[in-house]
Chain A
Amino acid sequence: MSTTPPRSRSQLDRELMLLRDNVLRLSTMVDAALQQLQQINRQLDVAQARQIIADDTKINRLRYKIEEDAYKLIARHQPTARDLRGIITSIHIAVELERIGDYAAGNSRLLLEMVDEALLISTFSNITRMLDLSRQMMRNAMNAYVHWDEEQARRVIQRDNDIDAIDKQVYQELIDLMTKQSHTISHATYMLWISHNCERIGDRITNICERIIYMVSGEMYYGIRQKGEEL
């Protein structure tokens, strides 16, 4: 009796590649949402904000497709070892990316609430910086995913501290503002929210990188990040 494993490796490889390509496609869609968000931070554009919200459904749809494809792949090929870890990681990444998309849509909704108000320039420039950092981190994380690069994933996680620092700074700025000028409270509260969402984007990218570390090394990464508990 033959001991050749009862699977067709080339078919499995093909499907793994399709799965990976879809995760990459999802990440470019999310990146586009973040980029548009940066634009409307500079100059609020109602149509653009509505577009981000509308596009979020496409992101959601692709995330579910990725998940479903992954289940079919598992059922048909019974993958093991690095194949298995790669598939499970892809599902996790898709879920995290979709949540980042939600934050982009959420911030667009918040901006629409603020249409008639004068914008706080310094805060917005900080938020744009956070989005810049997030987009860089996300690009590096996806690079680590494609190249199975554990070191790069670890480096991306380090960058998250920078986003946290900006969020803290924004928080302090807005609290000061609210104490001094009570008429800014409603506006500043929206801004706090927006900033907090950006900070959460960094957390999601950190989660992605933790999964990539697991995918490559097979060791679960228990990154203990305190900041979630500070709230």
Chain B
Amino acid sequence: MTDAQLIAIPNAQQVRQEYALEAHNLSIFYGNFRAVDSVSMKIQYNKITALIGPSGCGKSTLLRSFNRMNDLVPGARIEGELLFQGQNLYDPFVDPVEVRRRIGMVFQKPNPFPKSIYDNVAYGPRIQGIRKKSQLDDIVERSLRQAALWDEVKDKLRQSGLSLSGGQQQRLCIARAIAVEPEILLMDEPCSALDPIATLRIEELMRELQENYTIVIVTHNMQQAARVSDYTAFMMINENRSGGLVEFDLTEKIFTNPSDSRTEDYVTGRFG
């Protein structure tokens, strides 16, 4: 086979799977080090799923594996299976660029490009080959509206993205991520660099975005997981020093009556 025969991942309209993402015995390695050990979980459509757990338990590693971001780390590899639209994302004939368009990522520190607000949002669509001004205008406005930023920036779209406040920059990054119309949004501690008010705005925004997107968020803030997520996955380092999934359940269950005593200890602050 050649490059031309890359597999096309079906879209959600074509084949609606039961889950947006399914990990089956997914292990993730950095060289010989198994950072994540045999995680199985199913991510529901249009729900917010939070990954929580002590530092270093592999939350970010697992999250990055969901859109093949780890491919960019030398020596990183996976075992097991990750299904998106029924397709194994790690199939060698799946195009990682296509994967990253359909599964977007928002990082811990807002990282707008040193370009105008407009160009930040139009960046992805331009790469996809959209050139028409009116079409780009529409995408920029829609994305900024969805990211709850439009009203604050509509009169200064030509100003640098870096001129915005931290919370606004993070919403700009969210607008940039959704401009290419992904199906899943991955967020790695998206609020950890923000003040409490900006944090609440992002949390509200996540609830709005949930209508159109499936969201997976890593957060070190348990109250945040309790506030915004529908499902919570609790991870911990196991006896082999690899991160494993301890419990996955409805968030309300995890925070009122978890099944595993290790989860109980963690959410009640008995260890951290």
Residues of A at the B interface (CB closer than 8 Å) are 1-7, 9, 12, 78-85, 217-219
Contact = CB atoms under 8 A, between A and B. Distances in A.
Given A82-B264, A83-B268, A3 B226 contact: no
A7 B269 contact: yes
Contacts of B226: 78, 80
Contacts of A80: 222, 226, 255-256, 267-268
Nearest to A9: B269
A5 B266 CA distance: 8
16 contacts: A2-B55, A3-B54, A3-B220, A5-B266, A5-B272, A78-B226, A80-B226, A80-B255, A80-B267, A80-B268, A81-B255, A81-B257, A81-B258, A81-B267, A217-B257, A218-B256
B223 interface: yes
Chain B's interface size range is 20 to 34
B133 interface: no
Contacts of B258: 81
A4 B220 CA distance: 8
A204 B179 CA distance: 59
Contacts of B268: 9, 79-83
Interface string B4-41: 00000000000000000000000000000000000000
A231 to B, nearest CB: 34
Contacts of A2: 55, 220, 272
Given A5-B266, A80-B268, 12 more contacts: A1-B189, A2-B220, A3-B54, A3-B220, A5-B222, A5-B272, A6-B223, A7-B269, A12-B269, A81-B258, A81-B263, A84-B255
Interface in B240-272: 255-258, 263-264, 266-270, 272
A46 B266 CA distance: 56
Nearest to A217: B257
A100 B236 CA distance: 46
Nearest to A88: B256
Contacts of B220: 1-3
Contacts of B270: 9
A85 B269 contact: no
Nearest to B226: A80
Nearest to B219: A3
A4 B269 CA distance: 8
Contacts of A5: 222, 266, 269, 272
B161 interface: no
Contacts of B116: none
A85 B257 contact: yes
Contacts of A84: 255-256
Interface string B177-193: 00000000000010010
Interface in B69-103: none
A3 B267 CA distance: 12
B110 interface: no
B85 to A, nearest CB: 33
B53 A81 contact: no
A3 B264 contact: no
Contacts of B266: 5
B219 to A, nearest CB: 10
Contacts of A83: 268
Candidate in B55, B263, B266, B272 with the most chain A CB atoms within 10 angstroms: B272
Contacts of A7: 269
B257 A3 contact: no
Nearest to B259: A218
Contact of A81 (B221, B256, B272): B256
Contacts of B269: 5, 7, 9, 12
Nearest to A2: B55
A7 B271 CA distance: 11
